Amino acid sequence: MDITLAAKAKELIAKHARSTLRPEVLTGLGFFGGLFEFKGYHQPVLVSSVDGVGTKLKIASALARHDTVGIDIVNHCVDDILTCGAEPLFFLDYIAMGKLMPEPVEAIARGLAQACREVGCALIGGETAEMPGLYAGEDYDLVGFIIGVVEKEKLILGKTIGIGDTIIGLPSSGLHTNGYSLVRKLFGVDQSVLNTYYPELGRTLGEELLEPHRCYLHRLKPLLPIIKGMAHITGGGLIGNVPRVLPQGMAAKFNSRLWTVPPIFHLIQQRGNVARSEMYHVFNMGIGMVIICSPENVNQLTQALPEAKVIGEMVKQVEKKRVVID
């Protein structure tokens, strides 16, 4: 390990992380543990999540553009804990490289800090590791850890969802952080391919694929009291994620004609001759967050969320199908 490069990389991360610190953070960056003073809640429930950016990093490396993946991992984790009504408190990152490169590390940290500031989350610490025996060339991995909080009485766990409830979808900004292994198999990661302009996308393929994961916190926070359940649509699509919040005996019935599937998904399906069922298993297909509410609250939600669409309803489960997509 080049100790000088490692120290430079860590200082570059710290420079951006300092801009995210909240008054509750009791230690500066670089201590052995991040200290966060917890106060202001009656019956607090801590909510945690961890995830990675996955092979979207290959696209970032191919285009030498690393700032958006930091935004990706923060927004992904924030959306995960939002599904039970939690707001973020602090975030930690893990960056592992074959050889520490200060410039990409700073770009990643810049994206991490930007996303954390936007949601009021402290980037309280992390780990930057150089592992040449594990990562080849300029390969790297990026993982995020988040801690949030919600009052126990305000937890959203889907327990009150009933048959006849309405399903509302919020649009994604594209692939978010899932499905990139299939995309790379179909298109590859050559710069000439990624820099190809597609009229239906209105930009290059690489620009489309690096569009950051959308965060739903600010849109949904004021509406949480009238929401019965939420599902963040990540790997596994609607089919794999919606059942995670449904009570036993119920199924979510979607009408795919009620929302517009973004052009990138049509392009992927045509390029690989991918079956429709497989597309809905792998990708979000334009729906980044699913909301379930009582029919009487639909107008309030859709008026507050102009981009939202009513896309289905809750029905009785038939056989083993928990999700039906017409």
pLDDT of residue 5: 63
Model confidence pLDDT, tens digit, residues 189-234: 999 999 999 999 999 999 999 999 999 999 999 999 999 999 999 9
pLDDT of residue 2: 60
DSSP string for 61-124: HHTT--HHHHHHHHHHHHHHHHTTT-EEEEEEEEEEESS--HHHHHHHHHHHHHHHHHHT-EEE
141 - beta bridge partners?
Answer: 96
pLDDT of residue 130: 87
Task: Give the residue ranges of the chain where pLDDT is below 50.
Answer: none
pLDDT of residue 14: 75
pLDDT of residue 18: 82
First and final C-alpha spacing in the chain: 55
Backbone angles phi, psi at 12, to 5 degrees: -65, -40
pLDDT of residue 234: 96
Could you write out the three-class secondary structure of 238-289? HHHHHHHHCCCCEEEEECHHHCCCCHHHHHHHHHHCCCHHHHHHHCCCCEEE
312 within 8 A of 241, measured Cβ to Cβ: no
What DSSP element (H or E) covers 142? strand 140-151
Residue 9 CA to residue 322 CA, distance in Å, equals 47
Tokens describing residue 304: 């507050």
- Assign domain 3-154 to a CATH class: alpha beta
Fold designation for 166-325: Phosphoribosyl-aminoimidazole Synthetase; Chain A, domain 2 (3.90.650)
Residue 176 CA to residue 213 CA, distance in Å, equals 4
Where do the domains of the chain lie? 3-154, 166-325
pLDDT of residue 203: 97
